[in-house]
């Protein structure tokens, strides 16, 4: 599949889902965290308490991987995203726009009082993305390598 068509398919899958599982490591012990996210194109945005384990780890090691998928009961139906990239703490000036994006995607955020003011946002800048689609064959996946590995925040 051509890169542009694959990119659009991946963007659509990311946009249509809500939860990702991220994996980070301090070089000793890996840890996985399920998180809600918003996206812009292929970039994923997370929010978290700045004192959380994952934020401490990402400050020292920005390498991150994540998956976005569903809980399939049949192996032949599996679809999903495997993404490898770099995580970057977002500058405070972009926080209001990300808070708004989270509130629009997850309306219950407002019911809970909104995202806590002291929380930080993380931008995941993708480098390599695999799109799994076992309906096309067991173990079938397509790969998208990204050349432009920069932040796209521009609100």
Whether 104 is in a domain gets the answer yes
CA 116 to chain centre: 20
Whether 61 is in a domain gets the answer yes
Whether 91 is in a domain gets the answer yes
Return d(Cα 123, Cα 97) in angstroms, integer.
13
Whether 44 is in a domain gets the answer yes
Q: Which residue shows structure tokens 């390599």?
A: 128
Whether 155 is in a domain gets the answer no
CB neighbourhood size of 155 (10 A):
10
Whether 150 is in a domain gets the answer no
CATH of the domain at 16: 2.30.110.10
Whether 152 is in a domain gets the answer no
pLDDT higher than threshold 70 for residue 155: no
- Report pTM: 0.90
Question: Structural domain of residue 45, as residue ranges?
Answer: 3-145
Rg for the chain, CA atoms, rounded? 16
> pLDDT category, 147, cuts 50, 70, 90?
confident
Nearest to 128 by CA among 112, 113, 145: 145
Cross-strand partners of 133:
79
- Tens digits of per-residue pLDDT, 23-74? 999 999 999 999 999 999 999 999 999 999 999 999 999 999 999 999 889 9
Whether 154 is in a domain gets the answer no
CA 123 to chain centre: 8
Residue-level pLDDT at 109: 79
**Into how many domains does the chain fold?**
1
Q: Is the dihedral of CA 29, 128, 14, 96 positive or negative?
A: positive
């Amino acid at each position: 599949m051509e890169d542009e068509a694959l990119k659009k398919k991946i963007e659509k899958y990311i946009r249509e889902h809500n939860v990702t599982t991220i994996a980070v490591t301090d070089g000793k012990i890996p840890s996985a965290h399920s998180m809600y996210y918003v996206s812009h194109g292929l970039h994923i945005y997370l929010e978290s308490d700045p004192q959380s384990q994952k934020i401490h780890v990402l400050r020292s090691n920005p390498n991150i991987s994540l998956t976005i998928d569903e809980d399939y009961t049949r192996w032949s139906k599996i679809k999903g995203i495997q993404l490898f990239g770099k995580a970057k703490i977002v500058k405070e000036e972009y926080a209001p726009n990300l808070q708004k994006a989270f509130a629009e995607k997850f309306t219950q955020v407002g019911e809970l009082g909104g995202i806590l003011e002291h929380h930080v946002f993380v931008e995941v800048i993708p480098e390599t993305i695999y799109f799994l689609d076992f309906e096309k064959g067991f173990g079938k996946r397509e790969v998208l390598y990204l050349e432009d590995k920069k932040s796209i925040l521009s609100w």
